[in-house]
Amino acid sequence: MALLEAFATPFDEANPTAGHAALLNERYANRQTLDVLDDVINHEFGGRVALVSSFGADSVVLLHLAAEVAPNVPVIFIDTGKIFGSTLRYRDEIVARLGLTDVRAARPDPATLASHDSDSGLWLREPDKCCAIRKVAPLARALSSFDAWISGRKRYQGGMRAALPFVEADGERIKVNPLAGWSREDLVAYRKLHDLPEHPLVADGFRSIGCMPCTTRVADGEDERDGRWRGQDKTECGIHFGLAAFETDGSGI
């Protein structure tokens, strides 16, 4: 840390993680994304940070950037059991193409599924509970040994993401959003510049891709996330609402 940075923001002793996030926001304010990822993965949180990826519509950009600085960075993929087959095949293609060597699947606990979703239809009855069992709790377990994680959210996606900070506190863990300021055009340009393959469902009208039952095509003029949980108030799965409650007993149910 540069001496100047240490004096720029008083460290918040009552909330050291928030203070750490504020310091990092200052440090990274005018840095290139690749430079930030290099610092986060190889220095600031060396060996203690994981990248979380859905291998969805835009994921290849962040994965390519991370692979440029550390192909061995742990990548966590939440395999809910409801993922499109084309996403699983796309994941395998991207992993091989980028040379990622540490991709981990975070899966729901079988006993929890048996007791709360035995007919596999919880997504229809209680989608928040389904996300808690199939996404949030598995991610909380997968991140339990890490001090920081990297997400691919962007401000242009709107909703709760419109005010997304570059670095934020997530309980006692730091969360870095290196693409927060990127536009859709930036992502497309980067993907084309590096000749990176597009998720096959994008050409079929899917612009934000999650679980199969909760993802629909997006029409012209709609926001890209309008196809998620269509017809419901729900706009997020919950992994960005804080994982701490799910780390106590690993279920959060």
Footprint on this chain of ligand SF4 (rule: CB under 6 A): 80, 82, 123, 127, 130-131, 134-135, 210-211, 213-214, 237
C-beta atoms surrounding 225 within 10 Å: 17
Tell me the closest approach of the beta carbon of residue 84 to ligand SF4, in angstroms: 11
Compare residues 80 and 87 and give the one whose CB is closer to ligand SF4: 80
Q: Classify residue 193 as exposed, middle or buried by CB count within 10 Å of its CB (0-12, 13-18, 19+).
A: exposed
Alpha carbons within 13 angstroms on the beta-carbon side of residue 192 total: 6
Q: Is 214 a catalytic residue?
A: no
For ligand SF4, the closer CB: 200 or 213: 213
Q: What secondary structure letter does DSSP report for 44?
A: I
The catalytic residue among 130, 131, 211, 237 is 237
Q: Which is nearer to ligand SF4, 73 or 139 (CB)?
A: 139
* Integer Cα distance of 63 and 223 in angstroms: 23
Residue 230 Cβ vs ligand SF4, minimum distance, rounded to whole Å: 11
Q: Please report how close the Cβ of residue 146 comes to ligand SF4 at its closest, in angstroms.
A: 22
Nearer to ligand SF4, 116 or 135 (CB): 135
Q: How far is the CB of 212 from ligand SF4 (least distance, A)?
A: 7
Cβ neighbours of residue 33 under 8 Å, at least 6 residues apart?
A: 65, 178, 179, 182
- C-beta closer to ligand SF4: residue 135 or 161: 135
Coil/strand/helix, residue 232: coil
Cα distances from 82 to residues 29, 105, 213, in angstroms, run 38, 13, 7
DSSP class of 74:
-
Taking the complex as a whole, how short is the minimal distance between the CB of residue 113 and ligand SF4, in angstroms?
11
Those residues with Cβ within 8 angstroms of residue 73's Cβ, 6 or more apart along the chain or in another chain: 41, 49, 50, 51, 66, 67, 100, 102
Residues with catalytic function: 237
